[in-house]
Structure 1
Amino acid sequence: MSQSDVEQMKRPLRRDARESRDKLIAAARAEFADHGVDASLEKIARGAGVAIGTLYRHFPTRMDLLIAALEPRLQEFVEGADTAMQMDDPWAAFVAYLDNLFAVQAGDRGFNDFLSRRFPGNAETEHIHDVMCQQIEDVLTRAQEAGKARPDITRADIVNLIWSNGRIIDATSTKAPTAWRRQLHLMLDAYRAERAHAIPEPPMTDEQLYDAMVHLSKAK
């Protein structure tokens, strides 16, 4: 890369280019929210009133556009997660963390898909997922160490809950948009330490979980 290329990258976007980028992000938010991460990029470009080549100049890959479009949802999630994780009561923190996570999931099909899958070719999405997984591990472990959550729950069980919640959201979003919350709290009741009993099937390993999330991306 030449010095002139570096200087070009540092230079702020012209007003018309900035407006095109903003329109693309707005159109992408609407399309990803309605149709998930596999939404048509051509339709996004048309919605923004630009050519598909303009879209690729601003966002060379689908993941680049997705991250830009999901920024408000990710910020909403981060703020709620921070609030939950600062709560004094470990069980209340666990419940609040999942309630916040699923509330954001319910409001955006693109974010729903993003939570459910892994995109191993993109370092930024991998980092976001790793942070979320560590948060789940932390809030769950804290509830377990306090004797509030059953000790055999793992991160994979929470991701399974995210997957099942995604299907509930798909089925009920237009007719009963908060139905997911009943299912979440039924499951949370089953996660309480006093409800624990032997389970015949072990949890997925971290490797199995990761492969399953990648498979969901490849299956689309």
Structure 2
Amino acid sequence: MVHLSFAGDDFQLHNGRALFWPREGALLVADLHLEKASFFARTGQFLPPYDSRETLERLALAIRETGARRVITLGDNFHDSAGAGRLEPHAAGMLAALTRAVDWVWITGNHDAALEPGLGGTVVEELELGGMVLRHQVKPGEHRPEFSGHFHPRVQLKLRDRRVRRACAVISRGKGATRMILPAFGALTGGMDAADPAIVQALQPASRIDAVLPAAGRLVQLPLWRAAA
């Protein structure tokens, strides 16, 4: 884990995809997209049907290693609102055990806006916690510090003469609210270039926008956009 400061508070990036908030004992994750493979299987696009297991195993590890007492998901928890009903017994058992072990809040997203209660935990559209707002997608005009997901940001890096893509968080500062877009956590999620105009525009107004990710045990901050002087 690497430490980062956001809106005057301390956080930790866990494996580059989850954010731990020590003051609240909360683990924040975005875009699990559980049961994505089974969704595509219905249209004849067959993918290995183990994405939910892998995602939940990652989540269990993050809870264990951070000691989180609470998990807050930032939307698109399932790839569609009917995804919970397609969980195979092993994955369903894993999810039930996790939601019993910690205080769990499901924030809904555009993929699972009709997510029904009954999975364990609480289902909400957004949440305010510790003076910060948590939702699935950036909200224009928001003046409170904000966490969101939705965009699956990632960056391309050159490492030892190889170009690799890494999930990242994106943070905007100045002018408007301080905002953070979390990387996608799910095992079967693609990504969008963190400097894509859609992301930059969503975070306006801002003075600066940076990608942040862990590398070699330290926090790397890459400038994506700066306001003109």
TM-score (norm. length: structure 1): 0.28
Higher helix share: 1
Q: Kindly name which structure, 1 or 2, has the bigger radius of gyration based on alpha carbons.
A: 1
